[in-house]
Amino acid sequence: MCERKGSKGFEVLILGASGFIGSRLEAHLAGRGLCVKGTSSKSCNLLELDQVRKVFQHLEMGTRLVFLSTINKDVENSYRALLCNLEMVKNLGQSVPRDTLGGIIFMSSVDVYGPAPQVPITEKTMPVPTSFYAISKLTSEYLLKIPEVLDCPLTVLRLPGVYGQGDQGRSIVGKLINLMITKSHIPLFGGGKVLRDYVEVEDVCSIVESLINDPYDGLLNVATGTSLSILEIIETIAKEGNFSPKCERLPEQDGSVGDLVFDVSAFRSTFPKLKMKSLGEGVRLYLRSF
């Protein structure tokens, strides 16, 4: 039982609170005075139905659920991982009383659009998942939408790359910063022309906070709306950190890799007061941790 709750009197449960985004989100929400609880695979293995039922049998009415738990593609992108990710969602659906939750926020991925989507990408862009990880994310979205499973507002956030303090250099931005700090060569495939739109982690936390207080039923792509080439991203990091990067120009990798350019009209209309950080602003915050 939480001793303190948000002004609207509900609790927040984060599945996957030990990860990069989850740990930052738990601290962010607690700092806003919300009653927030976090689970990890150690405290509740979502692959074990009995453990899931023990956690969810005592949920308070109106609880907001943030679903971050996943086997990330960087850890394992396999058929086994796909089945495990779906098993987590299935166990959740079998364990939560339908009338308990006040809203679910499911963290999905823009990977569902495939490696070379037509741009600009909108919420109506047809998903073409080609990896085990992407298929698991899209299928999980569909499973959670079934009214017979969980009957409450469901927000699906399709995230691009998320970076920021605490990512341990695992994001693309973090990897580039670490390469520049160590003065290592940066592989630049195909001239670094491919476009990307990366999001700073505190902006993700602010988005989730807003959705917790005012649940939204639907799908949203999370992006700044400004796509930069990999070369421009390198140049921005170099400028903010006063680095002199050493780029090793390499031919394009095999396989079609397209740009990620988003039409963020739906996102901005949902969060009209939220100002997303530019890459330069995000990098400045990140560099403070070094």
pLDDT, tens digit only, all 290 positions of the chain: 455 444 457 899 999 999 999 999 999 999 999 999 999 888 999 999 999 999 888 888 999 999 999 999 999 999 999 999 999 999 999 998 878 899 999 999 999 999 999 999 999 999 999 999 999 999 999 999 987 778 899 999 999 999 999 999 999 999 999 999 999 999 999 899 999 999 999 999 999 999 999 999 999 999 999 999 999 999 999 999 999 999 998 888 766 689 999 999 999 999 999 999 999 999 999 999 87
- Please, what sign has the CA dihedral across residues 23, 141, 145, 198? positive
Predicted TM-score of the model (pTM): 0.94
Give the E-state strand segments of the chain in sequence order: 11-15, 35-39, 63-67, 101-109, 154-159, 162-163, 185-189, 195-196, 199-200, 218-221, 228-229, 246-250
Provide CATH code, domain 11-115+123-161+199-221: 3.40.50.720
Q: Tell me the β-bridge partners of 189.
A: 250
Reduced to 3 states, what is the DSSP secondary structure of residue 108? strand
Domain with CATH 3.90.25.10 in the chain: 164-196+225-287
Per-residue tokens: 273: 């007061």
Q: What is the pLDDT of residue 149?
A: 74
Q: How many angstroms separate the CA atoms of 111 and 90, rounded?
A: 21
Determine the topology of domain 164-196+225-287 in CATH.
UDP-galactose 4-epimerase; domain 1 (3.90.25)
Amino acid letter at 165?
Q
Domain with CATH 3.40.50.720 in the chain: 11-115+123-161+199-221
Q: What is the pLDDT of residue 252?
A: 81
Per-residue tokens: 26: 């738990």
User: Each residue of 12-47: b (16+ CB within 10 Å) or e?
Assistant: bbbbbbbbbbbbbbbebbeebebbbbbbbbeebbbb
Q: What is the pLDDT of residue 4?
A: 47
